Chains A and B, each alone.
Chain A
Amino acid sequence: MMDVGRHPNIELLTHAEVEDVSGYVGNFRARVRKKARYVDEGECTACGDCAAVCPVVVPDEYQIGLGSRKAIHIPFPQAVPSAYIVAADECLGQNPIACGKCIEACEKKCIDFDMQDELLDLEVGAIIVATGMEVYDPTAVDEYGYARFPNVVTSMEFERLISTGGPLEGHFARPGDLTRPKHIGFIQCVGSRTQDPERGYPYCSNTCCMNTVKDAQYLKDNYPDTEITVFYMDLRTFGKGFEELLMRTKSNGVRYIRGLPGEVREDPASGNLRVTVENTTANRLETHEFDMLVLSVGGKPATNTEAIRQMVSLSKSPSGFLKEAHPKLRPVDTPTKGVYIAGAAESPKDVRESVTQASAAASHAAILLNKSRFAVEAITAVVDEDLCKMCGQCAGVCPFGAIHWEKKSVAHITSAACSGCGTCAAECKFGAIEMRHFSDQAMYAQLDAILDEDPSQKVVTFACNWCSYAGADTAGVARMAYPPNARIIRTMCSGRVNPEFIWYAFKKGAPVVLVSGCHYVDCHYIDANRSTTRRLDGLWDGLEKQGLRPDRLLLEWCSAAEGPRWQTIMTEAEKKRASVSPEEVERTRELLASARVPSPRNPKESDENQDAEFACMRCGHEWAGYFSANLERTCPQCRSNSVRWLRTSR
């Protein structure tokens, strides 16, 4: 920590928040508000004379409320920068008549109540997001009695209680009566691995098992007469040296009982805690009594991560943590070029994993910064200013904020910020956006080549570069045989597939058109494939309006790993193709000859989170469900994503 404070290349901005980020890879501009500290951090020697005279005593957040501090304080003794700060909302006031005692006490005169927030505009080539996690508050898991019984604490509070830098200065005791606890219980997975959203999160928080094992060994080392029992559902000690530490605690007499307690009661006289648990190894109900109970709490995404995520256009995993560009091969990169992630902002991590990932993120950022110039792959979008009708639809769908548009002006694309997904080109009704290297003409030429001969035998298939095309590759590598009728047109993203292409294919005699792409959580262009769904909803409605079978248009999400799924998609698409009669194809040609291409069906805000009706275009199943534009739709019967949104029930 101190190295950061004195490194000549690091400008440390604490008590500061990023308010806005603009620009693109190599050329970001960040607006940072460095909030007034009211103490000159360069001059302050952290002598503490100010805090000694400060009359305002408040709970100390560093000690998680287990200790107190003054309104003017240093966050903790080893803080960097080593300087005091005035908590402005707690201070009695700058008026010397109201208080002002600290100003008098400070010999170096470094307290300044006239200090203002500073706004800094930083120009940087790369950004590393390391916004971390927060600790789960277990109050909601009511049966454990946290916040009701003083001797039930969280694992973070326990850290402060045992710490020499903690409120008890290393004289470990329980909060209820400040006596040293001899019988301590730990309960694992509090706030983690639960399907009940009221009681935590579905994921494993990764660090809590080992943290408890460490605490148990620490107690055995320093207070050998302590009896320790750990209640768990699985012990996950997968890292280097972890299993060995677990074994050490076991040989030191720490008991591990498989089973999470169902109830905790307090004996009001002693403050002790009676725990009822089903020991699932011994298959019996047990009651244990402890002087103190530690809830091993998990982590959750930090509150501020969401604002940062939106500023730099990142995606998030279903858990709410930031999503990496690729789970195995690019774990510190993000869909936004020049932005990297490190630490628990990506998923709960311990110190070692955080440090490892941080070094990886730094090295990727350094690869970029070491170049004086960055080459942008020439697959970006280009606006034809003569055709642009200044409607701004393109800017609305760009996942990267790469399109600048103002009323009565043509759209302008910053190619360095553009990733080439093509969803803007598919959204433009006026053909005013062309994708370099994935041009409309090339698309039509491919459709012509497929459908010029024997169109009735072909399944026109659009596949996105990253997932479904790669899923088809995986099926190939695994030699998964499927009917030979599919003809694949590769796009970077399914969002590139303009409804015009699909209409054109049907007009040219295609019996079936299949659009495929990444699952919602995998979209390599943040959320560009949500637009694919809007467009297909419009096309399904449009086909039906023309008196045609909407189920000749299929939509499937398939990840790069899902070879078997691709095989099923292909087999089912072929079945659909075989079901289309030559008369039907002929009628389609006639009916669509003069029909207008349907517009996307854009959900209204009032549709969001409503009960809705859906129909599967693969198997025909209809059902009632729940509509959200960000929810991937899957047929509960056949697992197809060809799910047409029929209507929202109001």
Chain B
Amino acid sequence: MPPENLRIGVFVCDCGSNIAGAVDTQALRAYAENLPGVAVAVRNKYTCADPGQQEIQRAIYEHNLNRVVVASCSPTSYEAIFRQCIEGAGLNPYLLEMANIREHCSWVTPGDREAATRKAKDIVKVAVARAHWLYPQDEEQIPVTDAAMVIGGGVAGIQAALDLADAGHKVYLVEKKASIGGIMAQLDKVYPDIECSI
């Protein structure tokens, strides 16, 4: 079962007219407010702008939210930003879910406000349903050995090894042949300046 006392905040974004031009965001906000587990639904002109993000943080404090759904654009654009935003208000970043009502809805459903709004409601409903099953996650911190192995001692391997070594890292350069140099060492001259290869 999902955790009890779920308090989900839904933040519906107009994205100027990008979403609001095709979707009835007022109706969408009202719909979202009545979805199971939702404590508050807020509509914003630009949720990603500073005032929009501050609104999310304020709502987290005021309504004691423990899950956040942002109904706006693709997570590939803004998930990282909104994760930071809710983390700033004390929530684990994995408690965020995005409902993509722009790229997957308003932008591809022109001229049919009713159908676009119906689809947007479903997208938000699905995101809220998923939010019920989000849990705080800790990112495992793995120690890093400060050394690199470069496989191949041609010009690329040589350059990579030198750069890493110059940056202060230990480098093992492994070359199959008896000398480094690779194909470069077999060339007499190289273009465009016709200079020696070695």
Chain A contact residues, CB within 8 Å of chain B: 1, 3-4, 7-18, 24-28, 30, 32, 37, 62, 64, 74-76, 78-81, 85, 122-133, 135, 156, 159-160, 162-166, 210-211, 213-214, 217-218, 221, 239-242, 244-245, 304, 308, 342-345, 349-351, 354-355, 357-359, 361-363, 365-366, 368-369, 371-380, 415-416, 436-437, 439, 441-442, 445-446, 448-450, 458, 465, 469-470, 472-473, 475-477, 479-482, 484-490, 567, 570
Contact = CB atoms under 8 A, between A and B. Distances in A.
B61 interface: no
A242 B178 CA distance: 33
Contact of A14 (B132, B156, B160, B177): B177
Interface residues of B, number: 91
A439 B178 contact: no
B110 interface: yes
B151 A343 contact: no
B191 A132 contact: no
Interface in B114-138: 115-116, 118-119, 122-123, 125-126, 128-130, 132-135, 137-138
A239 B192 contact: yes
A129 B141 CA distance: 25
Contacts of B179: 14, 74-76, 79-81
Nearest to B175: A14
Nearest to B106: A476
B63 interface: no
Contact of B191 (A1, A245, A446, A486): A245
A14 B61 CA distance: 62
B108 A15 contact: no
B191 A350 contact: yes
B20 interface: no
A376 B140 contact: yes
B151 A358 contact: no
B80 to A, nearest CB: 11
* Most interface-central of A64, A122, A218, A369 (chain B CB within 10 A): A369
A489 B123 CA distance: 9
Contacts of A127: 148-151
B15 to A, nearest CB: 12
B107 A477 contact: yes
25 contacts: A4-B158, A9-B164, A9-B165, A15-B177, A18-B149, A62-B185, A123-B145, A128-B164, A130-B153, A132-B182, A308-B151, A365-B164, A368-B144, A374-B142, A376-B142, A379-B137, A437-B137, A441-B2, A446-B126, A481-B108, A481-B111, A484-B112, A484-B116, A487-B122, A570-B108
A159 B186 CA distance: 7
Contacts, number: 366
B27 interface: no
* Most interface-central of A124, A470, A485 (chain B CB within 10 A): A124
Contacts of B169: 9, 365-366, 369
Given A343-B156, A354-B159, A476-B102, A125 B145 contact: yes
Nearest to B168: A9
B107 to A, nearest CB: 4
Contact of A375 (B139, B154, B184): B139
B156 A79 contact: no
Given A13-B172, A16-B175, A128-B150, A358 B163 contact: yes
A60 to B, nearest CB: 11
Give chain A's interface secondary structure class: mixed
Contact of B198 (A1, A156, A366, A476): A1
Contact of A62 (B119, B140, B145, B186): B186
A380 B163 CA distance: 33
B144 A242 contact: no
Contacts of A570: 108
Interface in B23-61: none
Given A129-B151, A160-B186, A373 B144 contact: yes
Contacts of A371: 144
A5 B66 CA distance: 58
A567 B107 CA distance: 12
Interface string B162-198: 1111111111111111111111111111111110011
B104 interface: yes
Given A9-B171, A362-B167, A125 B192 contact: no
Given A132-B156, A458-B122, A485-B119, 4 more contacts: A131-B151, A164-B188, A473-B76, A476-B108
Contact of B139 (A17, A126, A376, A470): A376
Closest 4 CB pairs of A and B: A343-B156, A476-B103, A378-B137, A79-B179
Contacts of B178: 14-15, 37, 75, 79, 85
Given A129-B151, A445-B132, A476 B107 contact: yes
B68 to A, nearest CB: 15
Contacts of A131: 151-152
A355 B155 contact: yes
B161 interface: yes
Contacts of A221: 194
Nearest to B117: A484
B189 A218 contact: yes
Contact of B107 (A18, A437, A479): A479
Nearest to A380: B140
A375 B129 contact: no
* Most interface-central of B2, B179, B182 (chain A CB within 10 A): B179
A359 B165 CA distance: 12
A358 B157 CA distance: 7
Contact of A355 (B110, B132, B159): B159
A462 B117 CA distance: 21
B194 A214 contact: yes
Nearest to A366: B167
A378 B197 CA distance: 47
A304 B137 CA distance: 41
A368 to B, nearest CB: 6
Contacts of A164: 188
A24 B143 CA distance: 11
A62 B187 CA distance: 10
Contacts of B112: 484
Contact of A377 (B100, B139, B156, B188): B139
A125 B144 contact: yes
Contacts of A160: 186, 188
Given A442-B130, A449-B126, A481-B109, A12 B156 contact: no
B166 to A, nearest CB: 8
B160 A375 contact: no
A416 B142 contact: yes
A228 to B, nearest CB: 15
Contact of B185 (A76, A241, A304): A76
Given A125-B144, A416-B140, A470-B76, A80 B171 contact: no
A366 to B, nearest CB: 5
B177 A125 contact: no
A1 B74 contact: no
B183 A244 contact: no
